[in-house]
């Protein structure tokens, strides 16, 4: 079950205020002790109350006094280098939030200009833009074009600096096919046979393409005009 959020205000009831003081003081000392053990740092707690004669100190009053004495003996610059009061903390917090707001506004503006550019590619007219939006759009387009050109130049430099590919080794024909190459005499004989058959190719090729006779009635067997050399 979630705990109710405590209202940070002065407790009017005296008994409730004292009980809250004891409870919160005990929790504070516990947290400081855990911080000292986990992080290995020297820390002390001194709590003064109007209803008690002696302050409550941790780890002890004597150790707390020694620790404060060493702190006061440090130079002023070292002692106040990382110290922040309430006013300085609020100023730092406000400056940080303002920087986050400006960064978010800049990102939103870039998204808006990107959307306008996309709409322009699809036929949107920019006649209704004011001077501020038109200037922002022009700056956005120029920036993106510059990024594209820079990327292109970088890729061209990489391609220019890349070493050329190694030449492919020449593999003999016998090694590629696993067969012995034909002698030149055999190659010439085959070429002559192909040339002789090529002179007869138009006749039987036309027969295949037009198997009907000139009268248009009788079917002509195209295989009857094929050369006998095709059928060993």
pLDDT in tens, 184-217: 555 566 556 555 555 544 454 445 444 444 554 4
pLDDT on residue 78: 81
Q: In a 10 Å sphere around its CB, with 0-12 CB exposed, 13-18 middle and 19+ buried, how is residue 25 labelled? A: middle
Residue ranges of the chain with per-residue pLDDT less than 70: 1-3, 169-232
Interatomic CA distance for residues 45 and 55, integer angstroms: 10
pLDDT on residue 159: 85
C-alpha torsion angle, residues 76, 77, 83, 84 (rounded to 10): 100
Interatomic CA distance for residues 77 and 195, integer angstroms: 104
| DSSP code for 99 | H
Assess whether the previous peptide bond of 59 is cis (omega < 30° from 0).
Answer: yes
pLDDT on residue 59: 92
Tokens of 133: 């939006």
> pTM surpassing 0.85?
no
pLDDT on residue 171: 54
Helix-helix angle 86-121:131-161, to 10 degrees = 80
Do residues 25 and 56 lie in contact, with contact meaning Cβ atoms separated by under 8 Å? yes
């Amino acid at each position: 079950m979630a705990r109710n959020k405590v209202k940070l205000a002065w407790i009017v009831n005296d008994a409730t205020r004292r009980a809250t003081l004891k409870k919160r003081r005990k929790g504070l000392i516990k947290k400081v002790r855990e911080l000292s053990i986990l992080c290995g740092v020297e820390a002390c707690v001194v709590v003064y109350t109007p209803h008690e004669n002696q302050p409550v100190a941790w780890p002890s009053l004597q150790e707390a006094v020694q620790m404060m004495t060493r702190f006061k003996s440090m130079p002023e610059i070292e002692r106040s280098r990382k110290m922040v009061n309430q006013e300085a903390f609020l100023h730092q917090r406000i400056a940080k939030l303002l920087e986050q707001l400006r960064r978010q506004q800049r990102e939103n503006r870039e998204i808006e200009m990107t959307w306008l550019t996309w709409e322009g590619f699809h036929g949107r007219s920019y006649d209704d833009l004011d001077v501020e939006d038109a200037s922002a759009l022009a700056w956005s387009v120029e920036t993106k074009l510059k990024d594209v050109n820079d990327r292109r130049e970088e890729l061209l430099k990489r391609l220019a600096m890349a070493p050329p590919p190694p030449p492919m080794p020449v593999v003999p024909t016998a090694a590629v096919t696993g067969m012995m190459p034909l002698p030149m005499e055999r190659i010439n004989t085959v070429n002559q046979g192909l040339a002789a058959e090529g002179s007869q190719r138009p006749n039987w090729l036309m027969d295949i393409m037009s198997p009907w006779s000139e009268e248009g009635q009788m079917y002509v067997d195209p295989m009857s005009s094929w050369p006998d050399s095709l059928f060993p």
